[in-house]
Amino acid sequence: MDALSCSPAAITNPRRATLAAAAARRRGLSCLGRRHAENEGPGSRAFLGCRGIGQGGVVKNEIKNAGGQRDRAAIDFSDPGWKPKFQRDFESRFDLPHLKDVFPDAVPIPSTFCLRMRSPTEEFADGYPSDEKWHGYINNSDRVLLKVIHYSSPTSAGAQCIDPDCSWVEQWVHRAGPREEIYFRPEEVKAAIVTCGGLCPGLNDVIRQIVITLEIYGVKKIVGIPFGYRGFGDEGLTEMPLSRKVVQNVHLSGGSLLGVSRGGPSIPEIVDTMERRGINMLFVLGGNGTHAGANAIHNECRKRRLRVAVVGVPKTIDNDILLMDKTFGFDTAVEEAQRAINSAYIEAHSAYHGIGIVKLMGRSSGYIAMHASLASGQIDICLIPEVPFHLHGPHGVLRHLKYLIETKGSAVVCVAEGAGQNFLEKTNAKDASGNIVLSDIGVHIQQETKKYFREIGVPVDVKYIDPTYMIRACRANASDGILCTVLGQNAVHGAFAGYSGITVGICNTHYVYFPIPEVIQYPRSVDPNSRMWHRCLTSTGQPDFI
């Protein structure tokens, strides 16, 4: 069935095609679309069949477009001018909010960031230093291409098309980096850094780079807000003065120098505190929730007409922020997960009928589980939230485990924490930030596995490993260290350039700024029709579990 599911035979034989389409749906493939494409030729019908788009020329575009966004507006593809209109809309969506939007008369000054001649101890009594010959700045009009694959058909694996013909539509986003003109005088800046949400490898590296870069601009007043947004509400939590000296070695250990938290004060309370303390540059390190907060702080500052720059740095081992190649900490988490997987493999391999089960983080996205499975090459079954599965029944995970025990003698399962929540009783519990507290799928699979093999009278030795907090409390690896360095520096450049309500990211290996709302519309998740998920299936050799 698997072999047939997208084969030409499935396309020409209607019964097989039905079976194939069902199998493809289970895997999240676009086989149905391919069948239509073969029968009716390429173009809009194929696109309709593939993605279930509505009738007629005006198409309610519910798919993810090439920017990874769910389109909000209906696009009339019969209009020959739809493409430039789309691009204009895209450009305005990705335009970066700037202080000049609120203060049109704001006058920039030449940048104080110059690598040739800066001295961090310099005072500005005699004017700002400058080096007109230095060409290290980014032009405000520099752009980076958001998506680089031209899919020739919606049926291509992982295709993200805007229109039925999958036309090539260039989508440009703003290049990050130092600008020649800046909108803050360094001696008037009080910069604050806050780290929110769960821990993530690299937080200290980013804090360190923000401090170092601020000092190179000439900023003297730099503080850390203790324990996330909570530090803005609790007067007992005092600001931590930061300098190059303080942060020099912080990247050598994991965690956050400043501490983290979930929940905290309301947005007006946060902005009240910022006003009271004279904070006019805020660097916010966190995930989706933190960025929603950062954007709300930015809006509140605008409402109050405060000259404040709020800049985010996306932090999440889950890698669930839209549009970027990856978030910092993800690589390290995947690498650290290898240790747990390898231990589970050795335990399983050394035991008689050994089964190893490893649960990895990933509330709604299976990136860590998928990448860790791919990297290790030791996983037989990878289960992620994006791909439904059965535990029991002829196509269930347990039946496949029996097959693996019979044929290989051992097996290793990697499950993301958000997978298979439908099997578990909902707790209805929420954390301080309002995130649903998930039930433990790892423990459930462990129990069901033991029960199943007991019932069929096959002895197995099940070992369960939950390295959850170990994979995010460690220090950043080299590749994350570099990513953190660049993101931290760019966050400072963005703030000095006068942008606010933005975040930094890596996009096709280049560094960019995004308006915050564009990256937090919903959590980024693994596309079951992506080449990466297909590669994972190829590597594990697992069948559909539906």
What residues are labeled active site? 318
Cβ closer to ligand F6P: 361 or 398? 361
Residue 361 binding target from Mg ion, ligand F6P, ligand ATP, none, CB below 5 to 8 Å by type: ligand F6P
Binding of ligand F6P at residue 226 (CB under 6 A)? no
| 431 makes contact with ligand F6P (CB under 6 A) | yes
**DSSP helix/strand/coil, 502:** strand
Sign of the CA dihedral with 150 first, then 153, 159, and 160 last: positive
Does the annotation flag 112 for ligand binding?
A: no
**Residue 324 marked as a ligand binder:** no
> Is residue 198 involved in binding ligand F6P (CB under 6 A)?
yes
- What DSSP letter does each residue of 118-131 carry, written as one string? --TT---TT-----
Q: Which of 410, 421, 479, 481 is nearest to 445 (CA)?
A: 421
Spatial distance between the Cα atoms of 114 and 103, rounded to a whole number of angstroms: 26
β partners of residue 225: 194
DSSP state of 64: B
CA distance 196 to 261: 6
Structure tokens at 307: 């000259």
In 408-530, alpha helices (H): 441-455, 478-496, 516-519
Whole-angstrom distance, CA of residue 202 vs CA of residue 241: 20
Candidates 29-37, 310-318, 391-399, 405-413; binding stretch for ligand F6P (CB under 6 A) = 310-318
Question: Any known ligand binding at 316?
Answer: yes
Indicate whether 317 belongs to the interface with ligand F6P (CB under 6 A). Answer: yes
Distance separating alpha carbons of residues 546 and 540, to the nearest angstrom: 17
- Binders of Mg ion in range 281-300 (CB under 5 A): 287-289
Q: From the list ligand F6P, Mg ion, ligand ATP, none, pick the one residue 229 interacts with, judged by a Cβ distance below 5 to 8 Å according to partner type.
A: ligand ATP
Q: How many CB atoms are located within 10 Å of the residue 45 CB?
A: 15
φ, ψ for residue 178, nearest 5 deg = -70, 135
360-399 residues near ligand F6P, rule: CB under 6 A? 361-363
362 binds, among Mg ion, ligand F6P, ligand ATP, none (CB under 5 to 8 A by kind): ligand F6P
Question: Using the rule CB under 6 A, which residue among 163, 180, 300, 318 binds ligand F6P?
Answer: 318
Instruction: Note whether 293 binds ligand F6P by CB under 6 A.
Output: no
Backbone angles phi, psi at 328, to 5 degrees: -70, 150
- Please report, as ranges, the residues that interact with ligand ATP according to CB under 6 A: 196-198, 228-229, 262-264, 286-290, 292-293, 296, 316, 318, 433, 435
Work out whether 312 is an interface residue with ligand F6P (CB under 6 A): no
Residue ranges that bind ligand F6P, judged by CB under 6 A: 197-198, 287, 316-318, 361-363, 417, 431, 472
| Annotated binding-site positions | 198, 262-263, 287-290, 316-318, 361-363, 417, 469-472
Q: Which residues bind Mg ion (CB under 5 A)?
A: 287-289
Binding residue ranges for substrate: 316-318, 361-363, 417, 469-472
